[in-house]
Copies of this chain bind each other. A is one copy, B any other.
C-alpha cells in the first residue's frame, strides 16, 4: 500500500505546487481531479502530444506516481439526478446531462490511458435515492439496475479498450451505497472486468455495516481507497441521528467528515483486511474535515497513516512449532 494525496484538496493551487507539498510530507502517489472546471487539471489536454508525458515527468520529479484520475462530478449525471440539482455540474435537459456525463467519463478514461494511470474514480449517480426504501416504490430500484447496465456497459467496454479500470466510489445518494448494492452492480454488468470500487470508509460508517467485511467481500474489485474518516458526535446523536442535514460546520452536527484517525473508523482493521485480500493500491487522503485546516490535515494524516501501512504479507515463521502443515 502507498500513501496517496488527492490534489483536489487544494484546487486553488497549480498541480506542481500541490505535488511538491505532498512529496515533502511523505505522500507517495497522486489522485488528480478530472471533472469539468476543477481548475487544476483538464483531461482533454492529455490527448495533446507530449502533455501526458510532461505531467508524469513532473510527478516523477517529486518521486511520485499517479494512482488515479477522479471524476466525482460529471459522472454523477449518467444516472442523475438530472433536474435542477445538478445544474452546478452541467446545465441542460436530462438527455444532455446524461450525454455530458457519459462523454466526460470516457474522456477521463482516455486521459488515464494517455497518462498510464490504471484507475478512474467516479459516481454513477441515481435519479431518486429514496427508492432504496420499500415504500412507496421500492420495486423501482430494479429499473435503476437495468438502467445501470444499459448506460454503463458501453462505458465499461470503452474503459476495457483503454486498459483503465473504473472505480465507483461507494457513497450515499448514489446507485452504489453499500456492500450489497456494490455486489449487485457487478452482477448486472456480468462482472465486467473494468468495474470495481473506491472504498471511502467515511461514506459507509453511519450504516453500521462493516467496512472490513465489505473489503473481504469485494476483495480484488477494490481498485482505490480514500483515506477519509467520519466522526459521530455522541452528544448530538440523540437529536440529530445519522441522517442529519445541515452545514457540516454546525456545532450541533451529529456526523461529520474527518481526517483519518480523528473519527470512528478503525484504520488498523481496514488496512489489515486490505492487506489480507491483496490490495496494494493507495490510501488517498481527501480533506473534507471541517474542524481543522487543510495543512493540519496534510501533516496529521501523513504522521498517522504512514506508519500503519503494511508493507508485506506474512511469510511464515520458518519454525518447527508453526510450519508443520
Contact = CB atoms under 8 A, between A and B. Distances in A.
B129 A178 contact: no
Interface in A246-269: 246, 248-249, 251-252, 254, 258, 261-262, 268-269
Number of chain A interface residues as a range: 35 or more
A31 interface: no
Interface stretch (A61-69, A84-92, A186-194, A220-228): A84-92
Interface string A302-325: 010001101111110111111011
Contact of A207 (B89, B241, B287, B313): B241
A94 interface: no
B135 A173 contact: yes
A234 interface: yes
Contact of A293 (B89, B312, B318): B312
A53 interface: no
Given A88-B136, A137-B84, A235 B207 contact: no
Nearest to A291: B272
Contacts of A235: 210, 212-213, 216, 238-239
B73 A321 contact: yes
Given A12-B318, A177-B243, A239-B210, A276 B293 contact: no
Contacts of A172: 130, 133, 135
B291 A312 contact: no
A231 interface: yes
Interface stretch (A3-11, A41-49, A103-111, A148-156): A3-11
Given A85-B136, A126-B130, A179-B241, A216 B311 contact: no
A162 interface: no
A209 interface: yes
Interface of A: 8-12, 35, 37-39, 72-73, 76, 81, 83-86, 88-89, 125-141, 171-173, 177-181, 204, 207-210, 212-213, 216-217, 231-235, 237-246, 248-249, 251-252, 254, 258, 261-262, 268-269, 272, 275-277, 287-296, 300, 303, 307-308, 310-315, 317-322, 324-325
13 contacts: A11-B320, A12-B318, A73-B321, A85-B131, A129-B130, A130-B130, A132-B245, A133-B243, A135-B172, A262-B268, A291-B310, A291-B313, A296-B311
